[in-house]
Structure 1
Amino acid sequence: MASPWVEDDEPTDWEGPAAADDDGQTGTPLPYVDPEVAAELAGEGPPVWMGTRWREIEAEHQWEAWNTLRRWVDWFVAEYRLVTSVVPPCWYKHSDLTAELYAAMCMEYKVWEEQAPGLGPMMMWHPHVEMLTARLRRMVDEAGCAKIGMHKEPEAYGDRPAFTLDYDEDDFTAWAGTTREQDTLERPEEGVQYLRARVLNGDGDEVAVSNPVGLAARRTPSKVTAEVVTTSSTPAEPSVRVLVSSTDASLEVEWQTSRDCEAWV
């Protein structure tokens, strides 16, 4: 087919005949790309450490990561006019602020990664900026740095460092080592059925026995009740619903009408 942009019917360079590749397949040949240019294009994109958990960034990349994050934070503060009660100058000394800002940097990059019009920036980035700044403000308020105008180290209580838990090690070990299993049982047809669990070791010896639990036979209500309620009283097609109290699945509902609530048909 002739090109719509030329007047003659001669094929242009980009309309050359299909050529066969090494496998004998034919198709339109791709334009030539210099190997060095191709390598450069392939190298474009985020740094190798970006997207990795901040605590897992290799030592050789940490200097670059800190400087990249600082440049982004400087842009973020200026772009969204953030005060020090949201991002203080000592943000890098607070692991929670650093983690929050690093996650935000990764997200901001992701929503613009495709470099094409889309809903990502409006639907994902900007709504999260509002939530992000609220979380940052709370973190900074708890840290207390903005209140005194300088970095404040977290306060320790007792003999423990700040942000550490005083575990009851015996209790935790017992809880973590507890095996939990669950099963579904059937109630007996009549009377009560008791059951318990035995714990056996690798040699098949009993090492523990649980408390017994009794399961009584399922009770079937002897009385069947029915109640009709109005669910909609619209002028056209009003609707009602009947509630039947019974465990007998074989029951059926039959509707009746009456003019005087005495004679039913």
Structure 2
Amino acid sequence: MTGPLTRFEPFPEPPALILEYIAERSAEESMAADGPAPWDIGALSAELIEPMPAWLDSVCRWLNRTYAWQPQDVIPPCWAKHEGLTYEIAALAFARGDAYAEAGSSVVWHEQYDRFLTRMNKALGKAGDECRVGKHDDRPARFQLAAWPTAKDEETGAAERIEEVAR
């Protein structure tokens, strides 16, 4: 006979390579202690980043199955195309492991998850509905970002633009 709680799925385990990296970072005399945090996706080496997309995708699927009872709570399948979401999902996934060390911390993690959903929906805006049904489009504000000068322009024209704005 099975009980009502036997159907609950465990949270996806981080890849072995990432767990090894975390253990190395924790060792006092380790050279890896100076390395980036494993949730800092943009700072990880190619070797460490390689297993992350599959794991984070399984985390998103788990979060959706476990918590997404309303459409606005669904993390879209194109989450990896939304750079900010990727950083947040990684941090949330790693924070969950720490949070379940104590009951009170797990409550705080759920509050963090709720705030994540608010930020996700703000970031996705109206495009979120389309993304959630598999119709991802490039960032709607892409044209606004194109107005920013390139790094080379920035070096030569920053002082001029600052003076112009100050007038």
Kindly indicate whether residue 129 of structure 2 is the aligned counterpart of residue 146 of structure 1.
yes
CA RMSD for the aligned pairs? Answer: 3.1
Higher Cα Rg: structure 1 or 2?
Answer: 1
TM-score scaled by length of structure 1 = 0.40
Determine the C-alpha separation between the residues in 1 that align with 2:104 and 2:49.
33
Kindly indicate whether residue 40 of structure 2 is the aligned counterpart of residue 53 of structure 1.
yes
What corresponds to 1:106 in structure 2? 94
User: What is the correspondence of 1:1-265 to structure 2 with a 5 Å cutoff?
Assistant: 46-48=19-21, 51-81=38-68, 85-86=72-73, 87-112=75-100, 114=101, 117-122=102-107, 124-141=108-125, 144-147=127-130, 149=133, 150-155=135-140, 156-157=142-143, 161=146, 165-166=148-149, 168-171=157-160
**Structure 1 unaligned residues grouped into runs of 5+:** 1-42, 175-265
Deviations 1:191-217 (A, max 9, x none): xxxxxxxxxxxxxxxxxxxxxxxxxxx
Conserved? CA contact 2:96–2:109, under 8 Å = yes
User: Taking every aligned residue pair, what percent have the same amino acid on both sides?
Assistant: 15
1:121 to 1:145, Cα distance in 2 relative to 1, 3 A? closer
Displacement of 1:165: 2.4
Deviations 1:156-188 (A, max 9, x none): 337x63xx62465124788xxxxxxxxxxxxxx
Partner letter of residue 146 of structure 1? D
1:140 to 1:84, Cα distance in 2 relative to 1, 3 A? farther
What corresponds to 1:28 in structure 2? none
Moved over 6 A (4+): none
Aligned length: 124
Determine the C-alpha separation between the residues in 2 that align with 1:172 and 1:82.
48
Conserved? CA contact 1:77–1:83, under 8 Å = no
Q: Which has the higher strand share?
A: 1
Q: Which has the higher helix share?
A: 2
1:52 to 1:135, Cα distance in 2 relative to 1, 3 A? closer
**Structure 2 unaligned residues grouped into runs of 5+:** 1-15, 23-36
Partner letter of residue 114 of structure 2? E
